């Protein structure tokens, strides 16, 4: 639910403290909880509008380059939700297995388990730094989709602005607490955050540069010119294009929007002429954009960095989870196409 109005990177940062607390207090594997959170966020991020990626894909496929009709947003959301059921079940099985793997089964260690009663904040202040940004982004996205979003709310609903509001609420929470030496604590928290987030920012920038390089080559035109050879693949055709772009440059959103631009002019030729076929295409492209997350994907480093995983463990767990997600989304698309087309 959080990843529908929020980029999955931001969603993971927002929910990571809750993941740590759940792992520590329930004794569940920290790795399993990390993979579950990352996979759930990625599914919504790639499949269900109004997340920017699938919303942009639907706009392209239904728009002037595709069907020349209004976007059937409800159908796109419904198909995306249905296609996420099988991946959800597979991830549950994977997480259960990870929780039983000896070297991956240790729970998270909670840093502040013995906080004095008088130092604990009220429920409102405890949830405000997390809940308020989610509410702002979700409300702004909803009103923007409806076409009636006030400028102030639109600004506050942008991820950076909403998370800044959350940061300010967190600082107010720290100021109101009874913890000693708040300045020292704030400095330590800032240092830990920069130590974890700094490498992620550099890698994200490098991935964006690579994506720009790919978009300025002849790759897109080459795929379009040779689309006839891939026509027999059906919905696997856009899936494979999105998967290739995802593996090459790391960004799911870039993979989705680029693939939609390639496929939209070919829809009539390939026989995809109904709103349902466009919705299934959106899901197929979203599934391909999950396959697979590795070192050139900024979200891979968000999951491994904030989840406390080394690179090898990230490949063994989260990368495998994205492989299962992508393939099972394609299976869901093929099943729905057999039923409704």
The whole-number pLDDT of residue 102 equals 81
**What letter would DSSP give residue 50?**
T
d(CA 111, CA 93): 29
Q: Looking at residue 158, what is its pLDDT?
A: 80
Mean pLDDT of the 249-278 span: 85
The Cα 276–Cα 56 span in angstroms is: 17
Tell me, what's the pLDDT at 97?
Answer: 92
Cβ count near 150 (within 10 Å) = 11
At 300, list the tokens: 């891979």
Element holding 245 (H helix, E strand): helix 236-249
Percent of the chain past pLDDT 70, that is, above it, reads 84
pLDDT digits (tens, 9 = 90+) for 281-311: 999 999 999 988 998 888 998 899 888 899 9
Range of lowest pLDDT (30-39, 197-206, 234-243, 301-310): 197-206
pLDDT, position 113: 47
Sketch the domain layout of the chain as residue ranges. Answer: 52-100+199-340
* Max mean pLDDT range (96-105, 135-144, 222-231, 330-339): 330-339
Q: Given this model, what pLDDT does residue 204 score?
A: 52
The per-residue pLDDT for 118 is 54
What's the mean pLDDT in 227-249?
A: 84
Q: How many Å apart are CA 293 and CA 248, to the nearest integer?
A: 10
- The average pLDDT across 201-206 equals 59
The whole-number pLDDT of residue 227 equals 64
pLDDT in tens, 98-156: 988 887 888 876 655 454 555 567 777 777 887 888 788 778 867 876 778 888 888 88
Stronger pLDDT, 340 or 108, i.e. the higher one:
340
Q: Lowest mean pLDDT: which of 65-69, 78-82, 233-237?
A: 65-69
Per the omega criterion (within 30 degrees of 0), is the bond before 326 cis? no
For the record, the structure tokens of 119 come out as 């130092």
- pLDDT value at position 319? 95
- Rounded distance, CA 309 to CA 241, Å? 30
Burial class (CB in 10 A: 0-12, 13-18, 19+), 224: middle
Q: What is the mean pLDDT of residues 232-241?
A: 89
Residue 38 has pLDDT above 90, yes or no: yes
Q: What is the predicted pLDDT for the residue at 230? A: 66
Tell me if residue 251 falls in helix, strand or coil. Answer: coil
Residue from 76, 66, 83, 58 nearest 263 by CA: 66
How much of the chain exceeds pLDDT 90, in percent? 28
Q: Counting beta carbons within 10 angstroms of the beta carbon of residue 242, is it exposed (0 to 12), middle (13 to 18) or buried (19 or more)?
A: buried
- What is the C-alpha separation between 323 and 246, in angstroms, rounded? 12
Q: Which backbone phi and psi does 94 adopt, to 5 degrees? A: -65, -45
pLDDT (0 to 100) of residue 300? 92
State how far the Cα of 11 lies from the Cα of 15, in Å rounded to an integer: 6
Query: Mean of the per-residue pLDDT values for the chain?
Result: 83
Taken as a whole, the chain contains a residue count of 341
């Amino acid at each position: 639910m959080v990843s529908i109005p929020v980029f999955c990177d931001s969603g993971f940062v927002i929910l990571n403290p809750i993941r740590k607390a759940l792992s520590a207090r329930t004794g569940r594997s920290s790795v399993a909880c990390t993979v579950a959170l990352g996979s759930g966020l990625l599914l919504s991020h790639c499949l269900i509008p109004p997340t920017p990626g699938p919303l942009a894909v639907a706009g392209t496929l239904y728009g002037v380059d595709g069907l020349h009709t209004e976007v059937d947003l409800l159908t796109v959301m419904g198909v995306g939700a249905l296609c996420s059921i099988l991946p959800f079940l597979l991830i549950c099985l994977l997480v259960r297995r990870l929780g039983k793997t000896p070297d991956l089964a240790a729970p998270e260690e909670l840093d502040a388990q013995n906080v004095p009663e008088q130092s604990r904040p009220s429920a409102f202040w405890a949830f405000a730094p997390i809940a308020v940004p989610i509410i702002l982004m979700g409300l702004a996205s909803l009103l923007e989709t409806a076409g009636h979003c006030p400028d102030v709310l639109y600004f506050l609903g942008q991820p950076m602005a909403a998370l800044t509001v959350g940061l300010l609420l967190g600082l107010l929470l720290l100021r109101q607490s009874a913890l000693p030496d708040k300045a020292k604590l704030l400095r330590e928290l800032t240092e830990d955050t920069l130590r974890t987030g700094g490498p992620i920012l550099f890698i994200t920038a490098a991935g964006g540069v690579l994506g720009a390089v790919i978009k300025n080559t002849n790759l897109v035109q080459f795929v379009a010119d040779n689309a006839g050879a891939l026509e027999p693949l059906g919905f696997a055709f856009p899936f494979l294009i999105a998967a290739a772009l995802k593996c090459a440059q790391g960004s799911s959103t870039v993979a989705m929007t680029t693939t939609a631009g390639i496929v939209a002019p070919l829809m009539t030729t390939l026989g995809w002429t109904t709103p349902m076929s466009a919705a299934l295409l959106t899901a197929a492209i979203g599934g391909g954009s999950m396959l697979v997350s590795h070192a050139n994907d900024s979200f891979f480093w968000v999951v491994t960095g904030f989840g406390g995983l080394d690179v090898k463990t990230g490949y063994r767990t989260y990368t495998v989870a994205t492989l299962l997600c992508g393939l099972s989304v394609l299976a869901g698309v093929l099943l729905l196409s057999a039923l409704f087309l």
